[in-house]
Amino acid sequence: MTGQFSRMENRSVPRAALVVPLLVAFLLTACGPASTAPGATTTATTAPTTAPVVPGVTDTEVVVGSWGPQDGPAGAYGAIDRTLDAYFKMINDQGGINGRKIRFIYENDSYQPAKTVAAVKKLVEEDKVFALCGGLGTAHNAAVMDYLVSNNVPHVWPATGTTALAVPLKKNIYAVQLNYTTEATLATQYALDTMGTKKIAVFYQNDAFGKEGLDAVQAELKKRNLPAATGVSYETADTNFSAQALKLQTSGADTVILYAVPKPGGSIIAEMGKIGYAPKLLSSSVINDPSIFQLAGTAINGMLIEAYLPAFDDTSNPKIVEYQAFMAKYASKEQIGGFTEAGYAYGQVFIEALKRAGKELTREGFMTNLDKMQNFTGSLVPSLSYSPTDHAGVKAAYFQAAKDGKFVTVTGFITLK
């Protein structure tokens, strides 16, 4: 199944595998710590007389990889990689970056971390990708994190909000998405302070993603000396959630916070509706897409969903107009929504990083220049900054309410209290 979604071209690049480690070592010493002023877009290194061999880079091409589910319980996220692919096509149509076209290869891991490992090894060792962009999932990123760090493969905007991406700092991993701890804490604070919540239950995925959400809710409650929330978990292989809906109802919670991917998330909302349980609902940004309305039915009305990118249907925002025009031209089969919006934004940030890395493209130069990004506002991300010691990405979010098949923005950007 892997490879089915890869775009392969018959283009073999001579590679001397032994040279690469030597070269990396050489570049490490050649670059040294960044000493130029922030924002400078100087090329990273002065190349020797012969062009250096960098994985996935030739004079005319740069290979970029990603992974994510194209089917299974989180299959709806498949739109992210497909949109990213379309975005790179648009960039290629415009002539590429610094004379190079982007060859994008994305693998389907069906949201199974074991498959992610195989997919990433293929990308790094067979396809020789220069960098990754948008690899999806918390457990999935965790499964390949050591491997990517030890191989020094840059990964821009992994599609997860796990704090583990940026804490502790990893030189080659650049998080963008608001982390789940901040996100869940914001949800808890908003529920307790603004929505009049008395008792919380959390419906969460039984892995690092869901548990980070649950732990943050519990921590905030503990800080305020309030009783712990009832946690109700599900496994990614589960398909029926009637028992969990009942458990949430009998917990007596007046508010349920969701840390669930689209299919289980939509299903639990529908199931709660079926047994006549209508708590206040809040959700992580991970289901911020119109696809959730179909899955959840009318019981979703009133649910608050966090978002850290501008509303995808807010056509008063010129950046959104641009995104929608892109969708119409390059990804007309995909839906306007949170997932394609994310894919588009990933592309924007990655292309900016590639531009800043300059003509002499190396992994070290790419990362050194990305570390200098300050208050970048040229993408859908309201503002993005990195430093050699901070790869955490965005730190603010706002709430949207689900209303008759649409998301309505109900707050401005909020940061932690």
Partner 1 sequence: MLSVTPDILTDLPWGQLLVNGLALGSLYALTAFGIVLIFKTTRVITFAQGETAMFSTFVAFTLLTAFQLPFAVAFVLTMLFAGVFGALIERVVIRRISTTTVLNPVIVTVGLSLILLGAAGWIWGYEIRTFPDPVVGPPFHLGTVVVSQLNALIFLVTLVLMTVLFAFFRFSPTGIAMRAVAENRMAAQLMGVSIGRMNALGWGMGTAMGAVTGMLIAPINYLDPSMMGDVALKAFAAAVVGGLTSLPGAVVGGLLLGIVDSVVGFEVPELRNTIAFALIVLVLVVRPGGLLGRHETKKV
- Where do contacts with partner 1 occur on this chain (CB under 8 A)? 70-72, 75-76, 78, 206, 231-235, 237-240, 242-244, 246-247, 250, 262-263, 266-267, 270-271, 274-276, 291, 294-295
As measured in angstroms, the least distance from the Cβ of 201 to partner 1 is: 13
Helices and strands in the chain: count of H runs, count of E runs: 12, 12
Q: Which two tokens stand for residue 44?
A: 């990273």
Which residue number, 207 or 364, has a Cβ lying nearer to partner 1?
A: 207
- Residue closer to partner 1, measured from CB, 275 or 321: 275
Place of tokens 């970048």: 376
Pick between residue 8 and residue 237 the one whose CB is nearest to partner 1: 237
CB closer to partner 1, 153 vs 201? 201
Instruction: Supply the minimum distance, in Å, between the C-beta of residue 386 and partner 1.
Output: 34
Q: Which is nearer to partner 1, 227 or 276 (CB)?
A: 276
Given the complex with partner 1, which of 150 and 404 has the nearer CB atom?
Answer: 404
Burial class (CB in 10 A: 0-12, 13-18, 19+), 25: exposed
Residue 328 tokens read as: 């119409």
* Least spacing, CB of residue 17 vs partner 1, in Å: 35
d(CA 289, CA 296): 12
Q: Crossing angle of helices 180-194/208-223, nearest 10°?
A: 40
Question: Of 251 and 400, which has the nearer Cβ to partner 1?
Answer: 251
* Least distance in angstroms from the C-beta of 327 to partner 1: 17
Least distance to partner 1, CB of residue 260, Å: 12
Residue 416 to residue 49: CA distance in whole angstroms = 51
- Least Å from the CB of residue 114 to partner 1: 16
- 105-143: b (≥16 Cβ within 10 Å) or e: bbbbbbbbbebbbebbebbbeebbbbbbbbbbbbbbbbb
Decide: 177 and 157 in contact? Cβ < 8 Å. Answer: yes
Q: Which is nearer to partner 1, 70 or 362 (CB)?
A: 70
Three-state SS at 222: helix
DSSP assignment string, 110-158:
TT-HHHHHHHHHIIIIIS--SEEE--B-HHHHHHHHHHHHHHT--EES-
Provide the minimum distance between the beta carbon of 294 and partner 1 in the complex, in angstroms, as a whole number.
5
Shorter beta-carbon distance to partner 1: residue 274 or 359:
274
Smaller CB separation from partner 1, 128 or 247? 247
Q: In the complex, what is the shortest distance from the CB of residue 226 to partner 1, in angstroms, rounded to a whole number?
A: 20
CA separation (Å) from 33 to 24, 48, 341, 357, 367? 15, 19, 35, 15, 11
Which residue has tokens 């709430």? 399
In the complex, the smallest distance separating the C-beta of residue 335 from partner 1, rounded to whole angstroms, is 10
Least Å distance, CB 342 to partner 1, is: 17
CA distance 396 to 415: 5
Nearest to 189 by CA among 227, 222, 229, 221: 221
Residue 409 CB neighbours (<10 A): 14
Q: Which two tokens stand for residue 98?
A: 């610094």
